[in-house]
Amino acid sequence: MEELRYNEFENYLKNELTEIEKTTFEEKLQSDADFKQEFEIYKALETSLSSKFENEENEQELRKTLTNLGNEYIKEEEVTKKKTKVISLFNYKKLMVAASIALLIGFFIFKNGNPVYSDFANHSNLELVVRGDSNETLLKAQEAFNAKNYKTAFAQLTVLEKEFPNDIEIQLYKAICLLELDKFPQADSIFNSIGEGNSALSTKATWYKALSLLKQEQFKACENTLKTIPESAEEYEQAKKLLKKL
């Protein structure tokens, strides 16, 4: 039941509910205080964690938001008691536990240890140019990669590469699939090859080589690789943020 509720929260935030589902959801937000409060806590945590590297003060913002939500909930409970209505103690405790866990997650993610791969691995959708008779394979590759089905995407991209052996974009996305599948030697070999070339994707390949080293917890090597990314590169700002975390 809880998992279904959180899936509903996620789908609402991503605007993936039907119009009827959205209307029902918003009506429930208005009529069910427990439901609304749990949603607000979920939204605060989701928003803060998904954007934590955009703002160095997000940990404090997360703490402040959740604390305010907790205080508001306590006030609501007091008001409700005065009206002789009963709030479910179980639901109240459940929300407070959720808030406490959220604070702990925020604290440890923001303040402790080295950065992790998942914090920076935000892949652009695969959108290859349509070519000749390879449309079906291309579409399968795109659908699989964008759905994070990297094993299938790798297989389809390998088929495409046989037909287009000089396509750097296909090679790069194959390497990203290998990276996601923890096939580090194969992925790094491709990243190195593209990074040392003169294509428009050379800097992106270098960025992914750094991410590969990060995922392998080779932090010094990751740092050295990041320092080779020039200021003019699209990946420079992200590289700078990662360097600050190392």
Same domain for 128 and 199: yes
CA distance 195 to 230: 13
Same domain, 123 and 45: no
pLDDT in tens, 78-95: 554 444 444 444 454 555
Look at residues 112, 132, 151 and tell me which one is the last residue of a structural domain. Answer: 112
Please tell me the distance from the alpha carbon of residue 201 to that of residue 220, in angstroms, as a whole number. Answer: 24
* Domain match, 101 and 133 both: no
Q: Are residues 19 and 91 in the same domain?
A: yes
User: The domain containing residue 151 runs over which residues?
Assistant: 119-245
Residues 95 and 123 in one domain: no
Same domain assignment for residues 107 and 129: no
Distance (Å, whole) CA 35 – CA 26? 10
Answer yes or no: do 82 and 187 share one domain. no
Q: How far is it, in rounded angstroms, from Cα 126 to Cα 145?
A: 7
Query: What type of residue is 15?
Result: N
Q: Are 192 and 179 in contact (CB under 8 A)?
A: no
Identify the CA nearest to 243 among candidates 225, 216, 217, 218.
225
Question: Which of the listed residues 112, 137, 163 is the one where a domain comes to its end?
Answer: 112
Same domain, 128 and 237: yes
* Closest by Cα among 139, 227, 156, 217 to 182: 217
Do 124 and 57 share a structural domain? Answer: no
The count of domains in the chain is 2
- pLDDT bucket at 245, cuts 50 / 70 / 90: confident
Q: In the listed set 72, 88, 112, which residue is the last one of a domain according to the structure?
A: 112
pTM, rounded to two decimals? 0.57
Q: Residues 92-136: pLDDT tens digits?
A: 455 555 555 555 455 445 444 678 898 899 899 998 875 555 688
- Note whether 84 and 128 are same-domain residues: no
